[in-house]
């Protein structure tokens, strides 16, 4: 018998995690143009000065090489941080602007004070004044950038009401939860054109699916691979736009809390089958759609009589009941099969119950025709015959007529 880990490894679906995209030709051209312009600007500056002859050839070459090295260092830093957030970049830029404005204002004030005290432009006083202005400028720039970065999600200018948050125009995107991908019904919704907005899968949801797919537990591993397979098939649907936001990371508060935070920040709608997450999102004022509620509102009659293949995992609440789960996490309660716990059986649906927490299926054991269990059940279901009562009689009533019509005495 092949090991479960080795046999399932071959069946593992390809991970849908996004690979880092290669640099586009436009970005490469912009980087090359930046380095060229930096070097050319330094060369033109050296050539245009009236004292250019005072520089030796080695000095000029050294300055040009230093300029190229600075450009390459900037490009390396840019390449090492591919996933930049526009809010962080805007916060740094705005903080630098505030710091420079404050430094300029304080520098002008210091110059006025120095002029009133007649400190002059030379001597130790001028040196100390320049050092003070430089130190204050760097300190104010650092404090401004630090303040704006730490408060960029809450900071708002009164005029013109600028906020460091991503504002989306048009349709609000759907943020997929892990449970929605494992459930799989979102694929049918996307194929039926009921989803009219982009679908976004945050990076921490992908990480959770990957963790589940690598779990040692059979049930968790199956659900994780089912979620990854659903995402792969969802990306192939041409009717919707699926985006995997790898810049969204979990900050330690759990996947649900991170998903609600992203929805609040970007104005998205959460699509889930988790009743707890749905309620918390409603309390936090975040738009959320529970697929189970949607299915309950669209569901018609129950699919009674449908045969299901289910793995019995534990005993039920009632006597002789056993409980199993389908691949999508639906609980199935089967009657009179407690002695078959741990086996895969066929069951026929007798009733279904749709709740906000999911779908509950009630079924009875329905073995395959011709199997040993089927023949045993057929034998035990026969009517008992008492040998003392004689042979069986015809059930058609007296005179062989239909018993509903009756017969004459």
Q: Each residue's pLDDT tens digit in the chain (409 positions)?
A: 434 434 443 333 343 333 344 456 777 777 788 788 878 877 777 676 555 566 677 877 887 888 888 878 878 877 777 666 666 777 778 888 888 898 899 888 888 887 887 766 666 667 677 778 878 888 888 888 778 777 665 554 443 434 444 455 557 889 999 999 998 888 888 888 888 888 889 888 888 999 999 988 888 899 999 999 999 999 888 878 888 887 665 566 688 888 898 888 888 899 999 989 999 999 988 999 998 888 777 764 446 778 888 889 999 888 889 999 887 778 899 998 988 898 989 888 898 887 777 778 899 998 865 455 555 554 555 555 554 444 444 444 444 444 444 444 3
Burial of 374 (0-12, 13-18, 19+ CB in 10 A): middle
pLDDT score, position 203: 87
Number of other residues whose CB lies within 10 A of the CB of residue 206: 23
Q: What's the confidence (pLDDT) of residue 52?
A: 54
- The order of strands in the sheet holding 242-245 is 242-245, 199-202, 174-176, 269-272, 288-290
**Predicted pLDDT at 279:** 92
Domain limits, the chain: 80-165, 174-298, 307-380
| Element containing residue 47 per DSSP (H, E) | helix 25-48
Say how far apart CA 271 and CA 181 lie, in whole Å: 9
For 5, other C-beta atoms within 10 Å of its C-beta total 9
Measured over the CA atoms of residue 120, residue 122, residue 126 and residue 128, the dihedral's sign is: negative
Provide the β-strand partners of residue 156: 163
**CATH fold for the domain made of 307-380:** OB fold (Dihydrolipoamide Acetyltransferase, E2P) (2.40.50)
pLDDT at 397: 43
Cα distance between the two ends of the chain: 71
Superfamily of domain 174-298 in CATH is 5'-nuclease (3.40.50.1010)
Give the pLDDT score at 270.
92
Handedness of CA 393, 397, 401, 402 (dihedral sign): negative
Quick one: pLDDT at residue 169?
54
pTM over 0.75: no
Q: Let me know: does 278 contact 272? Beta carbons within 8 Å.
A: yes
């Amino acid at each position: 018998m092949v090991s479960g880990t080795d046999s399932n490894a071959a069946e593992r679906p390809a991970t849908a995690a996004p690979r880092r995209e290669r640099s586009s030709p436009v970005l490469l051209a912009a980087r090359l143009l930046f380095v060229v312009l930096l070097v050319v600007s330094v060369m033109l500056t050296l050539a245009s000065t009236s004292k250019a002859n005072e520089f030796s050839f080695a000095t000029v070459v050294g300055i040009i090489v230093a300029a190229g090295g600075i450009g390459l260092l900037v490009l390396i830093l840019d390449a090492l941080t591919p996933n930049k957030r526009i809010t962080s970049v805007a916060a740094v830029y705005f903080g630098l602007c505030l710091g420079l404005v404050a430094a300029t204002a304080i520098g002008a004030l210091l110059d006025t004070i120095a002029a009133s005290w007649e400190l002059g432009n030379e001597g130790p006083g001028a040196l100390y004044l320049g050092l003070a202005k430089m130190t204050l400028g760097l300190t104010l720039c650092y404090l401004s950038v630090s303040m704006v970065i730490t408060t960029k999600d809450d900071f708002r200018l009164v005029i013109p009401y600028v906020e460091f948050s991503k504002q989306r125009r048009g349709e609000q995107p759907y943020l997929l939860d892990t449970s929605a991908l494992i459930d799989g019904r979102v694929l049918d919704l996307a194929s039926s054109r009921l989803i009219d907005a982009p679908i976004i899968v945050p990076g921490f949801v992908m990480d959770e699916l990957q963790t589940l797919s690598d779990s040692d537990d059979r049930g968790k591993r199956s659900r994780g691979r089912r979620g990854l397979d659903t995402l792969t098939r969802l990306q192939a649907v041409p009717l919707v736009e699926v985006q995997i936001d790898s810049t969204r990371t979990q900050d330690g508060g759990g996947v649900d809390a991170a998903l609600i935070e992203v929805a609040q920040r970007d104005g998205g709608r959460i699509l889930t089958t988790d009743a707890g997450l749905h309620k918390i999102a409603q309390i936090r004022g975040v738009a959320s759609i529970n697929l189970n509620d949607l299915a309950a509102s669209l569901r018609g009659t129950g699919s009674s009589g449908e045969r299901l293949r289910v793995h019995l995992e534990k005993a039920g609440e009632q006597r002789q009941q056993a409980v199993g789960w389908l691949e999508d996490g639906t609980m199935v309660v089967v009657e009179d099969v407690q002695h078959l716990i741990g086996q895969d059986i066929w069951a026929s649906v007798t009733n279904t119950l749709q709740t906000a927490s999911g779908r509950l299926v009630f079924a009875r054991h329905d073995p395959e025709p011709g199997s040993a269990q089927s023949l045993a059940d057929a034998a035990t279901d026969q009517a008992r015959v008492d040998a003392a009562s004689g042979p069986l009689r015809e059930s058609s009533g007296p005179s062989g007529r239909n018993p509903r019509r009756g017969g004459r005495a």
